[in-house]
Amino acid sequence: MDQPVTVHIWREKYRHADEASPSATFKRVVDGVYAQDADHASKGLAALEARDWVPGGRIFAGAGTNKRVTWINCFVSPTIQDSMDTEPGLSGVGIMPALSVAAFTQQQGGGIGMDFGTIRPDGAIVGRTGSISSGVIPFMVMWDGMCVTIRSSGSRRGAMMGVLPVWHPDVLAFITAKTRKDFLKNFNVSVTVTDDFMAALEKGEDWDLGFHVPRADGQHVGVTEKDGRPWYIYRRLPAAELFDLITRTTYEFAEPGVIFIDRVNKLNNLNYCETIAATNPCGEQPLPPNGDCDLGHVNLANMVLDPFTDRARVDWERLRAAVATGVRFLDNVLDTSPFPTAEQKAEALNKRRVGLGYTGLGNLLQQMMVRYGRASVPLVEQVGEAIAIQAYRTSVELAQERGAFPAYDAEQFAKAPFLQKLPAELRAAIAEHGIRNGVLLTLAPTGTTSIFYGNVSSGVEPTFSWHYNRTVVIEQTAVEQKTEQFEVQDYGWYLYTRLPGYDASAPLPDYMVGALELSVDDHIAVAAAAQRWVDAAISKTINCPAEMSYEAFREVYLTAYHEGMKGCTTYRPSGVRGSVLSIKEDAKPAVAAEAAPAVNNDDILTRPQVLPGKTVKIKWPIDGENYYLTINDYTHADGRRVPFEIFISTSSVENFETMAALTRTLSAACRRGDATFLFEELERVHSPKGGALVRLEHEKKGTYAPSLIALIGRILRQHSAPQQELFAEDTPETGETCPNCKRNTAHKIEGCLTCYQCGYSKCG
């Protein structure tokens, strides 16, 4: 199903030169990928034309062109040595050469992850220079600054993941680093958590933070031995205190993520020849130093026969055919893609990792009339098992044709825990013939490729919104910006609303469910089910309601660990995060409207779990301060949308008390009925300091306001105007402020901050 927005995505992201249609793009991509495999090119082209196979975005953008770009989506840095330059005889490269690798990788279109746990902590002695180390964070700032300057192929910004082990002395600063305004904003960050830390947490024990280089002041808690070297303990604290810092910070700021690194290595097919310490930027590919993720996805939205009927069933034959095509396709990419560095290419060809996954899971479940969540677990596992078995079977067939991957060790590979899940006959075939690819499966963010393929539900996620308006920039000049608005319809919604007898006034059936309607348990259940049949990892966000208690939120991470997941990424809308991302470091937190005293009144509206809203930035010239006015709306049964609660955030000490009073008063009034009269009264307030000409970000020209209070009243009155569009007709503004379009329409989906209004994606 081609929509205007899908054509726009094709033109802006994937069209090359004068290609006249997506079919021309498909032909160009297949010609590039099958350059050494022409006999099978027709199957590849047919799978693309049918929209059954979705190559990764870098493949679409680079394959078959003469651009000096890689077709590989993501990499992990070489091991970063604890020295500025490379030390001979040690694995990895020095800090500055590692920075250079990251720059070249992003210049050619690849995202990259880094393990900073090898760098000595803040306060450690630097023997060569007789100085004291500044620690990990300042070096991350170097990477962040480099990323700002690198604009890779097309308009794709660089994407990075920074990880730090839970035992590193700088982990406390690392966990809280991104609570600072605009700090390390080009990074996703995650803590790699070990099994012994989780054991210490469960037992209520202390936890040591240490390093193999001593503190400059000699004030160690103790000295032990680790990996044959002295281990200096910098600090000892309860494991629960450290875990609470991680989860409390994530509760408010959506980062850091958590990677269960021992589980990652234990379950890795290739743990006999590599150790993993980091992941790619979105976390779905744990990779060794110089490792790559070669991505493509089966479109599950196409895999249902007789959808929305009692006869609905998965088209297993079509699914297996798409998987077989996909494995061969991705194996070809390894031989035809450019690589940013020789070391990355050598690593890729030695182990021949591919990342075959799927998109459109939410749409498949809708067509099967199965509700996303706990009820869908059996079907999610059944689909995952079918994909895994076919992928491994195809890789064995490729090994017979092309040879096993060079690092293959029959005895060691046979011990991989994932292989024990496969049928006996398939394990026997691997033992007899070997296998072409060391790791085969991942569930990655599919982002704009899913929109390009008809706006199917992205990756393993449920549908986010049934339909909404998306504004895109079509022309940018020095003096103006031209935009165009597209109506975007979810693929499953599109099919459902065209069923015979569809009644727009009838409530949607239980299986037509969106991401924000699901419980946390639903999200965890699907994530765990999907992970069971993936040999690498998955990118999945556990969406949590804003009003969720911290104690319940903390439990999500423990549940994820006990469910066997390899990591956990959550997203909870947070007024505090919205404020800190927008105001000065020393700003006070937003005043919570819920703090207003309750009054016994039958007319008070009950707050739903999720509210649409928006935030307006006000730069008040009189005092030079920024004010952030957040308005969350209540939608009545008849479609009327009225303000329900109001937050005003500011770093102004002088006006904080006034804003707190406004927050409480306005929210209380809104919950009791139409507060327009109060907004109008505020507009009449004049300041003795004088008014100002103010231009808000969404306005073309400035207007005069007699006071800051009057300006706030005007914004609220205009927001409450009857002509305001209904929530269902526009992008729901319930997320973070998008760095690109400045609307509150950015949500963490598949572990990646993504804007549904303008298409911005932090992961590219």
Instruction: Read off the pLDDT of residues 404-458 as tens digits, 9 standing for 90 and up.
Output: 999 999 999 999 999 999 999 999 999 999 999 999 999 999 988 999 999 999 9
Is there a domain that residue 758 lies in? no
Please state the φ and ψ torsions of residue 485, each to the nearest 5 degrees: -110, 135
Among residues 241, 263, 288, the one where a domain terminates is 241
Express each pLDDT in 93-147 by its tens digit: 999 999 999 999 999 999 999 999 999 999 999 988 889 999 999 999 999 999 8
Which of the two residues, 611 and 709, has the higher pLDDT score?
709
Stretch among 166-180, 378-392, 730-744 having the lowest mean pLDDT: 730-744
d(CA 544, CA 546): 7
Structure tokens at 95: 């800090």
Selection from 144, 194, 454, 163 nearest residue 299 by Cα: 454
pLDDT band at 637 (very low <50, low <70, confident <90, very high): low
Among residues 185, 214, 241, the one where a domain terminates is 241
Say whether pLDDT at 584 is over 70. no
Is there a domain that residue 174 lies in? yes
Cα separations (Å) of 744 from 23, 254, 616, 644, 662?
A: 35, 15, 9, 17, 22
Structure tokens at 111: 């995202």
Among residues 241, 274, 293, the one where a domain terminates is 241
SS3 of 346-412: the string is HHHHHHCCCEEEEECHHHHHHHCCCCCCHHHHHHHHHHHHHHHHHHHHHHHHHHHHHCCCCCCCHHH
Is there a domain that residue 614 lies in? yes
pLDDT band at 1 (very low <50, low <70, confident <90, very high): low
Is there a domain that residue 637 lies in? yes
Mean pLDDT computed over 752-760: 66
Report how many domains make up the chain: 2
Strands (E), 420-560: 467-476, 481-489, 541-543
End-to-end Cα, the chain, rounded Å: 24
Three-state DSSP at 334 gives helix
User: Global pTM?
Assistant: 0.79
For 642, the domain range is: 587-729
Is there a domain that residue 220 lies in? yes
Stretch among 31-35, 326-330, 502-506, 747-751 having the lowest mean pLDDT: 747-751
Cα separations (Å) of 585 from 176, 592, 630?
A: 12, 19, 19
Structure tokens at 157: 């910004």
Give the CA dihedral 446, 451, 454, 455, nearest 10 degrees: 90
Is there a domain that residue 400 lies in? no
Specify the amino acid at residue 509.
Answer: P
Query: Is there a contact between 48 and 26 (Cβ–Cβ < 8 Å)?
Result: yes
SS3 of 218-269: the string is CCCCEEEEECCEEEEEEEEEEHHHHHHHHHHHHHHHCCCEEEEHHHHHHCCC
Q: Which residues, including other chains, have CB under 8 Å from residue 535's CB and lie 6 or more apart?
A: 267, 269, 388, 416, 418, 439, 440, 441
Mean pLDDT computed over 497-525: 92
Stretch among 208-212, 325-329, 732-736 having the lowest mean pLDDT: 732-736
Is there a domain that residue 69 lies in? no
Q: Kindly report the average pLDDT of the chain as a whole number.
A: 87
Q: Percent of the chain having pLDDT more than 70?
A: 87
Predicted confidence at residue 530, as pLDDT, reads 97
Say whether pLDDT at 402 is over 80. yes
What is the DSSP secondary-structure string of 665-677? HHHHHHTTS--HH
Is there a domain that residue 59 lies in? no
Predicted confidence at residue 597, as pLDDT, reads 36
Selection from 488, 441, 351, 575 nearest residue 2 by Cα: 488
